[in-house]
Structure 1
């Protein structure tokens, strides 16, 4: 960061105006905020961006950024991301019955601070603001009406902000805020709303999110996802944005769950030895999967 505040604001502004994307379709703006908003701590929930820089060290810089550039959208969002990451680091990712009173208090206090910080921003000025709204709403009392409202707004304003659809799928799981059958109905609805190319890519993003939460045996029986539609969705995504290594690793897992050996073998060719720990956790699981595919 090194106090290069003007350059950082210019970079964020360029990402917003150009809607720059990485291979696979992720917005560069989202990763820009994930990187700058990361803090030290294994349970920070920093989106895969590890850092040895403490919250306190970064806070000094970002507070200076806010003083020197009080209208900076980026500075506000980075500070809010840091507060949210601090909240998750304090709470941890365990179930509610494992969280102490002090952990919960810090968690809610930091999320409240993030919410106050965001009040001066218009979400129409930056799509990533909606992600912060969603995180804060999930921890609030009676969250579902707030989450429904945020989703309606963000998908109307930014129909190709695909992370919104995977966030929605996560929310609609029964273990969170969904009713029986609601997740399946939602997934099917994506092909008509937003529909078209965006609907198919949104479907692939939902598959990305859910593959890590269900076994291969469960994925296509309890979620509403179907392998033929996942396959088509990924083909649409690859044609539009290309694919990164994480995408190919996920596609391999999705194809194995769908018992589609040709697609699994194609994914393996793209991956080579570049297995993704976010997908497989340990190399042995990737190696076992590759061996199983090649034996067929």
Structure 2
């Protein structure tokens, strides 16, 4: 992920940008969020982050919004923690407003995010964003391709920046230990460190304190993907254990959420052919997800997986519940949606 600096607080290059036309978006209560769809809420959070970053060179309001979401434990209609979505939106806004291209540009980004940490000595978000600015500088050098496509000259600076970001967060651990996003970020940095470092101790520390925080599990899942350090068998063992550890608040839902995430980042429509995902366990997990969070995003994603698994009975029930709603991002394409609808129609003949 690239990092673009904030236009007001960051002075990176000679190009002048005009402010986007975004109205102020107040921090929302859970009740307001439940009246909107998942992606409406995500868009609102992103707009809020951009607006606050644009107008708040001191980052005071950014920190205030983040602390509010973190302390209240707000969730989106699909069940995601809003403070995690907001943190990602802050980082995303930084990537959208400027395009640092040279080492000097990146040094200025780091200087500005470091200045934020110094002006806000208790801000966990500032420290996570600063580490992410270093991490994303590293990935700009490496590139996003497979390791065999990375130039040999890129590895040394890539690892140097990754280790620097990791060391910085470690130095701030006492302040960051109460923020679940710290653990998710550190797991990623450990995974990306040289020598195939094992993030399991950081993962265990994170879920011990925050057993229902999905990004910690997802970050660890990245480590278990075949393209990193794992395999399909390891993911299945992990998914079962994760569902058990989070059952008090999530029911069986995390098993489904883990494979849902694995499908998005690795397996695509071939989840059941290429992984060890068990549809019976995944179906039970989705039942618990939609019981708690009956948002269309969850319902239609559930239906898409039922289609992939060939479960016509469950698909038919879900399509009836979905009605005329259609969420393109859940199905991937209109063609996929229509294909699944035809599968149910054929079974009724």
Q: TM-score, normalised by structure 2?
A: 0.70
Residue 31 of structure 1: aligned partner: 85
Residue 34 of structure 2: aligned partner: none
Structure 1, 86-95 or 75-84: larger mean CA deviation: 86-95
Alignment pair present for 1:158 and 2:210: yes
Alpha-carbon separation, structure 1, partners of 2:135 and 2:324: 33
Alignment pair present for 1:198 and 2:198: no
Distance 1:193 1:37, change over 3 A: same
Residue 182 of structure 1: aligned partner: 234
Alpha-carbon separation, structure 2, partners of 1:68 and 1:176: 37
**Residue 76 of structure 1: how far off its partner (Å):** 1.0
Alignment pair present for 1:120 and 2:172: yes
Give the alignment partner of residue 306 of structure 2, picking from 243, 250, 255: 255
Mapping of residues 64-79 of structure 1, within 5 Å: 64-79=115-130
**Residue 197 of structure 1: how far off its partner (Å):** 4.5
Structure 1 runs (4+) greater than 6 angstroms displaced: none
Distance 1:189 1:115, change over 3 A: closer
**Residue 287 of structure 1: how far off its partner (Å):** 4.4
Alignment pair present for 1:19 and 2:41: no
Alpha-carbon separation, structure 2, partners of 1:202 and 1:210: 12
**Residue 201 of structure 1: how far off its partner (Å):** 2.1
Between Structure 1 and Structure 2, how many residues are aligned? 282
Alpha-carbon separation, structure 2, partners of 1:180 and 1:160: 23
- What SS class does the counterpart of residue 177 from structure 2 fall into? helix
- What SS class does the counterpart of residue 288 from structure 2 fall into? helix
**Residue 149 of structure 1: how far off its partner (Å):** 0.5
Mapping of residues 31-70 of structure 1, within 5 Å: 31-38=85-92, 51-55=96-100, 56=105, 61-70=112-121
Give the alignment partner of residue 108 of structure 1, picking from 133, 136, 159: 159
Residue 191 of structure 2: aligned partner: 138
Do 1:155 and 1:161's aligned partners in 2 also have CA atoms closer than 8 Å? yes
* Structure of higher CA gyration radius: 2
Q: Could you report, residue by residue, the CA deviation over 1:6-26 in whole angstroms, capped at 9, with x for unpaired residues?
A: 211111211221111112221
Give 5+ residue unaligned stretches, structure 2: 1-52
Distance 1:139 1:191, change over 3 A: closer
**Residue 130 of structure 1: how far off its partner (Å):** 0.6
- What SS class does the counterpart of residue 276 from structure 1 fall into? helix
Residue 80 of structure 1: aligned partner: 131
Root mean square deviation, CA, Å: 3.0
- What SS class does the counterpart of residue 212 from structure 2 fall into? coil
Distance 1:10 1:180, change over 3 A: closer
Q: Could you report, residue by residue, the CA deviation over 1:238-291 in whole angstroms, capped at 9, with x for unpaired residues?
A: 22234352x3443232111221234334555267233017x62x5544444444
Q: Could you report, residue by residue, the CA deviation over 1:137-183 in whole angstroms, capped at 9, with x for unpaired residues?
A: 111134353x1111111111100112222333332234422267332
Q: Could you report, residue by residue, the CA deviation over 1:1-53 in whole angstroms, capped at 9, with x for unpaired residues?
A: 13252211111211221111112221111111111112677xxxxxxxxx243
Give 5+ residue unaligned stretches, structure 1: 42-50
